[in-house]
Amino acid sequence: MSTLSIVILTKNEEKNITDVINNVKTLADEIIVVDSGSTDKTVELAKKSGAKVIYRAWDNDFSAQRNFAINNVTTDWLLFLDADERIDALLAEQIKKAVSDKTLKQYSMLRRIHAFGFEYKHGIFKPDEVIRLFPAKKVHYENKVHEHPVCDLLKEKLNGYIEHYTYDSWQSWWDKAGHYTTIWAEDAYNHDKRTSVGSAFFHAFYGFLRAYIIQLGFLDGWSGLYSSAFHACYILLKYCKLYELQTKK
């Protein structure tokens, strides 16, 4: 019988860690929490909830963190889940069925975004398809930020949803945006990507247009408008940081 590990990356997730572990406890043979140096009660609560906790120092590389986790998985399958995500009942049943199937595939699922007290249906926070379930030794991750899995197996989408309870305030969004854009700019610079001020504003404008018009963000009302505007700010910020690196170095 095939076995499944659920892997959760954490850093100061005491408000989420107990709930996410309880959400998947009956689904997994093992729950692995990869902590990057929490200073709150994340590790204590994870162990109390029955998870195995391992540590890897944070070095601004999400792929490295995930690949480290993969190397510590001993089960047949692995599923990545964020601490602020929950699996609904239908998806849980679909995962059980997929793991018991002898055919090796990678599996995707839809994720619904809940942010700022609103469930988004369109725009930059519209439901997105994420690939999370893999045979344990058939995948690795690339890119320091906005990392993506690399797996040669056939992909199949499961029914059901991951419910993603992300930003509870614009301040939390801003804090994470500042961190992510810095990692992106440094990684882009090291890979010889260059930009200009004009290009930075063009990318930001197109990002707003894409989120608000092409992805129908306007149908989410005011929430769609300000999420699209902040998305444009995010894009402008990461390209401006890249331009700053160019001028300094």
pLDDT digits (tens, 9 = 90+) for 66-86: 999 999 999 999 999 999 999
Structure tokens at 196: 């200009």
Q: Which two tokens stand for residue 24?
A: 């998947």
Structural domain containing residue 202: 170-248
On whether both 120 and 99 belong to a single domain, the answer is: yes
Evaluate whether 10 touches 38 at the Cβ level (below 8 Å).
yes
Nearest to 72, CA basis, from 30, 44, 38: 30
Phi, psi dihedral angles at 39 (to 5 degrees): -110, 0
Q: Where are the beta strands (DSSP E) in 143-191?
A: 148-150, 155-165
The predicted pLDDT at position 189 comes to 94
In this structure, the answer to whether residues 158 and 36 fall within a common structural domain is: yes
Residue 145: pLDDT band (50, 70, 90) is confident
Give yes or no: residues 198 and 174 share one domain: yes
Among 150, 165, 180, give the residue marking a domain's end.
Answer: 165
- Based on the fold, state whether residues 244 and 181 are members of the same structural domain: yes
Both 29 and 129 in one domain: the answer is yes
pLDDT of residue 214: 97
Q: For residue 164, list its beta bridge partners.
A: 85, 113
Residue 127 CA, chain-centre distance (Å), reads 13
Q: pLDDT tens digits, residue range 92-126?
A: 999 999 999 888 999 999 999 999 889 999 999 99
Is there a contact between 124 and 217 (Cβ–Cβ < 8 Å)? yes
Residue 146 pLDDT exceeds 90:
no
Q: Which of 131, 165, 199 is the last residue of a domain?
A: 165
Query: Over pLDDT 90: what percentage of the chain?
Result: 91
Q: Which helix (H) or strand (E) holds 210?
A: none
Residues 208 and 95 both lie in one domain: no
Q: How far is CA 216 from CA 43, 124, 225, 232, in A?
A: 40, 9, 10, 15
Q: pLDDT: is 191 or 44 the higher one?
A: 44
Same domain, 24 and 64: yes
- In the chain, what percentage of residues exceed pLDDT 70? 100
Q: In the chain, how many domains are there?
A: 2
35 and 69 inside one domain: yes
Q: Are residues 111 and 176 in the same domain?
A: no
Is pLDDT of 1 > 90?
no
* 32 and 70 housed in the same domain: yes
What pLDDT, on a 0 to 100 scale, did the predictor assign at position 52?
97
User: Are 153 and 201 found together in one domain?
Assistant: no
Q: How far is the C-alpha of 59 from the C-alpha of 22, rounded, in Å?
A: 29
* CATH code at position 30: 3.90.550.10
Q: Which of 165, 187, 207 is the last residue of a domain?
A: 165
Mean pLDDT of the chain: 95
60 shares its domain with 136: yes
